């Protein structure tokens, strides 16, 4: 049986493999995350930008009430051009106990941890909702986050607090 840490590391490897450079689409990664959160019992929304190639994901476990916690992270990474990588930046590697790959720290690692924990959290969420908010284009002006906040405002969703990974 694998541990949650092993599951998180495996998912992180999958997420690193998506080349979600801020100039490129992130939709494939968003859809993969949506599938996992849906399987955990979350109510999942994919909110595409005007181009249709980029999207935010907003998912909720627990009751449909105000309040709750948002676990938030962005899916895009900075470009790798003109950087001196000793390995493929979109293939996660382990060296001396550390994980290397574009986005491992900023912020695909946090996203992997949140999504891996979703099934266990689903069993514990009772009184207040737990939201997952994964956005696009943070590296170029937080465009996805701005659109997501506006979408939540229009719908009257008012989480109490956000944890930004």
* pLDDT 10s digits, 5-53: 999 999 999 999 999 998 899 999 999 999 999 999 999 999 999 999 9
Active site residue 96: no
Active site residue 123: no
User: Which residues are bridge partners to 163 per DSSP?
Assistant: 71
Active-site choice (35, 50, 123, 138): 138
- pTM equals 0.94
Give the mean model confidence (pLDDT) for residues 131-145: 90
Q: Which of 14, 31, 66, 76 is catalytic?
A: 76
How far is residue 90 from each of residues 35, 79, 80, 93, 136, measured CA to CA in Å? 21, 11, 10, 9, 18
Superfamily of the domain at 4-78+93-164: Zn peptidases (3.40.630.10)
């Amino acid at each position: 049986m694998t541990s949650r840490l092993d599951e998180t590391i495996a998912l992180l490897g999958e997420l690193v493999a998506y080349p979600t450079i801020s100039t490129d689409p992130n939709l494939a990664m968003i859809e993969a995350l949506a599938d996992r959160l849906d399987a955990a019992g979350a109510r999942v929304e994919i909110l595409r930008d005007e181009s249709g190639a980029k999207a935010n994901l907003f998912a909720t476990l627990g009751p449909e009430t105000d309040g709750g916690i948002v676990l938030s992270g962005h899916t895009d990474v900075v470009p790798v051009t003109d950087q001196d990588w000793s390995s493929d930046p979109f293939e996660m590697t382990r060296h001396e106990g550390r994980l290397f790959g574009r986005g491992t720290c900023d912020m695909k690692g946090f996203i992997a941890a949140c999504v891996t924990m979703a099934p266990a959290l689903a069993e514990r969420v009772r009184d207040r909702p737990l939201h997952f908010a994964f956005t696009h284009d943070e590296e170029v002006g937080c465009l996805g986050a701005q659109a997501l906040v506006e979408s939540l405002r229009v719908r009257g969703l008012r989480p109490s607090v956000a944890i930004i990974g």
